[in-house]
Every structure is written in C-alpha cells, then in structure tokens.
C-alpha cells in the first residue's frame, strides 16, 4: 500500500475517533440526573441517599478522554507513528467499536463512563516502542497488553452484557 494512502487511512481513523470522542464527551458532560449512585461503607452497606454522578467526576473523565485521544492522534499522524499504522488502525477500530457497542448496550451515560477509561491504552499503544525501552521488554508486549485491554471490554460487553 502506498504511503499516501496509508496516511489518509490513518487520518480518517483519527477523525472518526475524534467524532466518537466528541459524542462521548457531550453525553458525559450533559449527564443523566436519573442515573443515581449510592455510596457504600467498607462492609458494603449503602449509606446516604442516592445522588447523581457529580460534575467534577464527569469533567475529569472527559479530560482523560480528550488527553488520550489527542496524544494518540498526534502520535498516529506523526512520521514515527506512520511506521505503526497497522497498530493505529487496529487500536482506533477497537475504540470506535467500543463506543458503538457501548451505546447499544443500554443507557449511553453510564456505559460511556467506562469507555473513557478504555481510551488510555490508545496512546500507550502508539508509544509502545519508547515505553518498552525502560521496561527492557519488546514493544509487542506493550501493544499486546493494550490490545488485550481494548478488546477485553468489547468481549465483556458482547458476551456478558448482551447474553443476559
């Protein structure tokens, strides 16, 4: 495949993940006042009235989402990132599938709270070679773990959430 075509495909994947990230961020920032959580003691007994998820927690989640997608996107379209274009495409495809499957799994708001934490492996995947050097491990160990995390959420959603 030509270098120009690979670059365009990676740009499309980055743009699609940015659109999915914006949709997730909008849903998270808007929140859902009907989705209530209740604090529990260490013993597991609930205490206090159920309350909606606080705005600061949702804002921190959106910040993590944005930083992860920007860092991964920046690396994916760089010259060094283009050397890892198959990994970038697979990682972005898993992220976009995760967003789609999470939206189909039920209420989008609570599902997208989990999606945010599964964007962290995207920049780790694309920075796998620099991360592997201090670990004295091959780069495939780092990106393999990232793929396991990204795919693990999808497997859990498809087989556990949808089978019930």
Q: Specify the pLDDT at position 164.
A: 59
Task: Give, rounded to a whole angstrom, the gap between the first and last alpha carbons of the chain.
Answer: 43
pLDDT means per 10 residues in the chain (164 residues)? 86 93 90 78 82 87 95 92 90 92 80 88 92 90 92 83 66
pTM for the full model?
0.85
Whether residue 64 contacts residue 118, with contact meaning beta carbons closer than 8 Å, is answered with: no
The token pair at 110 is 């609570």
Instruction: Write the DSSP symbol of residue 40.
Output: B
Please give the DSSP secondary-structure letter assigned to residue 53. P
Q: What pLDDT score does 35 carry? A: 80
pLDDT, residue 68, reads 95
What is the DSSP secondary structure assignment for residue 118, as one 8-state letter?
T
**Three-state DSSP class for residue 46:** strand
């Amino acid at each position: 495949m030509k270098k120009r075509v690979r670059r365009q495909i990676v740009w499309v994947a980055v743009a699609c993940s940015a659109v999915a990230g914006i949709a997730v961020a909008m849903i998270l920032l808007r929140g859902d006042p009907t989705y209530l959580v209740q604090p529990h003691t260490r013993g597991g007994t609930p205490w206090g009235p159920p309350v909606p998820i606080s705005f600061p927690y949702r804002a921190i989640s959106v910040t993590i989402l944005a930083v992860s997608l920007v860092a991964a996107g920046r690396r994916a379209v760089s010259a060094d990132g283009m050397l890892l274009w198959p990994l970038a495409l697979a990682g972005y495809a898993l992220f976009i599938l995760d967003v789609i499957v999470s939206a189909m799994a039920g209420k989008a708001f609570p599902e997208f709270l989990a999606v945010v934490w599964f964007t962290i492996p995207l920049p780790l995947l694309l920075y796998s070679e620099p991360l592997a050097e201090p670990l004295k491990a091959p780069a495939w160990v780092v990106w393999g773990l990232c793929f396991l995390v990204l795919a693990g959420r999808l497997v859990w959603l498809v087989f556990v959430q949808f089978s019930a």
